[in-house]
Amino acid sequence: MRISAGERATNYAILILFAVVALAPVLTILQAALAPETPQDALTGPPLHVENFGRAWEQGRFSEYMLNSVVVGVIVVSMATTFSIMAGYAFGAFTFRGSQALFYLFLLGIMVPTEAIVVPLFFDLQALGLTNTVWAIALPQVAQSVAFGTFWMRAYFRGANRSLIEAARLDGAGHHRVLWQVLVPVARPAIVTLVLLTFMWTWNEFLIPLVMSPNAQLRTAPLGLALFQGQYVQGTTLLAAAAVLVALPVVVLYLVLQRHFIQGMLEGAVRE
């Protein structure tokens, strides 16, 4: 099917317009982050003021906040991925009493908003003396990620090659060997996508870290940014630099592995 040159030009114009709209705020913040912080800076140094990132890092205590985010991220991703693979295997490879009901119970968790669980979690964890610990921030997110991850891995293991499992079983492999040494290596693309999505959701999460550390002892990077915005009112340069720092890990991963992100969010959205 052919379309006219005029129509094609219109198509490009519309697409470029929307690409500009999508990119403009990103470029704006990047430009603000690289602008001179003071009039003095404008006279000295290179045209792009990369030193802003260092200053924001120090003044906003981002070394501490980023480290907290990394610790929480490692806990959530490793626990949620391991548990999801195991649960997905249980649902995908076996038929057992109550499997349907249990699966729907997990599906329910994908829909439950954080707002619903955060209030009781805070008061119960406070009573246990667990607020202001990484566990109070990480474990609720493990639970949310496990709900999605179980659903995700079940779909994968259901489609997995049955003859592969049977061959391994005939060779005398136990269930753990079948899962970790036969199925998991084959499932690597699905697992990579799951790891990336879980990492992104955890890194970007705001409400749980905000509530779970009431005296601000333990801030993750997004919280640090919100706090920085409150303190840092004299200019926009360092705030913009801090915003870039907080977004950077996920954005870089996205640009390198964008297929995994897009595919995961789309397939995850289409629940059979």
Partner 1 sequence: MRGPGGPAPVRRRSRYGLTPYWFLLPALVVYALFLLYPLGRAVQISLYDWDGLSLATFVGPANYADVLTDDRLRSAFGHSLVLIFFFAVLPLGIGLVLAALLTRGQVRGMGFFRTVIFLPQVIAMVVVAVAWRQIYAPDGQLNTLLRAVGLDALTRTWLGDFTLTLPAVGLIGTWVSTGLVTVLLMAGMSRIPTELYEAATLDGAGAVRSFLFITVPSVRAEVVVALTMTIIAALKTFDLVYVTTSGGPGATTTVPSFEVYRRAFQLGEVGSAAAVAVVLTVLIFGINIAVNRIGERES
Q: With contact defined as beta carbons under 8 Å apart, do 215 and 30 qualify?
A: no
Q: Is 256 in the site for partner 1 (CB under 8 A)?
A: no
Q: With contact defined as beta carbons under 8 Å apart, do 183 and 89 qualify?
A: yes
Scanning the structure block, which residue is given the tokens 């970790």?
A: 180
Q: Is 91 in the site for partner 1 (CB under 8 A)?
A: yes
176 to 215: interface string for partner 1, x by CB under 8 A: ---x--------------------x--xx-xx--xx--x-
Question: In the complex with partner 1, which residue's Cβ is closer, 51 or 229?
Answer: 229
Q: Is 161 in the site for partner 1 (CB under 8 A)?
A: no
Per the rule left: phi > 0, alpha: psi between -120 and 50, beta: everything else, 219 is beta
Q: How many C-beta atoms lie closer than 10 Å to residue 148's C-beta?
A: 21
Question: In the complex with partner 1, which residue's Cβ is closer, 182 or 247?
Answer: 247
Residues 219-248 that bind partner 1 (CB under 8 A): 222, 225-226, 229, 236, 239-240, 243-244, 246-247
Residue 188 Cβ, how far from partner 1 at the closest point, in Å? 19
Per the rule left: phi > 0, alpha: psi between -120 and 50, beta: everything else, 13 is alpha
Q: From residue 55, how far is each of 6, 124, 194, 238 by CA, in Å?
A: 50, 39, 35, 7
42 to 61: interface string for partner 1, x by CB under 8 A: --------------------
Residues 65-84 that bind partner 1 (CB under 8 A): 79, 82-84
Question: In the complex with partner 1, which residue's Cβ is closer, 144 or 198?
Answer: 144
Instruction: Write the DSSP symbol of residue 174.
Output: -
- Radius of gyration (C-alpha) of the chain in whole angstroms: 23
Q: How many C-beta atoms lie closer than 10 Å to residue 261's C-beta?
A: 18
First-to-last C-alpha distance (Å) of the chain: 33
Determine the angle formed by the axes of helices 62-93 and 99-111, rounding to 10 degrees: 150
Residues 134-153 that bind partner 1 (CB under 8 A): 139-140, 142-144, 146-147, 149-150
Residue 234 Cβ, how far from partner 1 at the closest point, in Å? 13
Only segment of 37-45, 48-56, 57-65, 260-268 that touches partner 1 (CB under 8 A) = 260-268
Q: In sequence order, what DSSP letters do the residues of 118-130 get, joined into one string?
A: HHHHHHHHHHTT-
Residue 136 Cβ, how far from partner 1 at the closest point, in Å? 10
Question: In the complex with partner 1, which residue's Cβ is closer, 71 or 86?
Answer: 86
Which of 21, 43, 101, 233 forms a contact with partner 1 (CB under 8 A)? Answer: 21
Which of 54, 58, 67, 94 forms a contact with partner 1 (CB under 8 A)? Answer: 94
Question: In the complex with partner 1, which residue's Cβ is closer, 43 or 255?
Answer: 255
Residue 162 Cβ, how far from partner 1 at the closest point, in Å? 6
Scanning the structure block, which residue is given the tokens 């109070």?
A: 136
Q: From residue 142, how far is each of 178, 179, 239, 246 by CA, in Å?
A: 25, 21, 30, 21
Only segment of 6-14, 38-46, 49-57, 180-188 that touches partner 1 (CB under 8 A) = 6-14
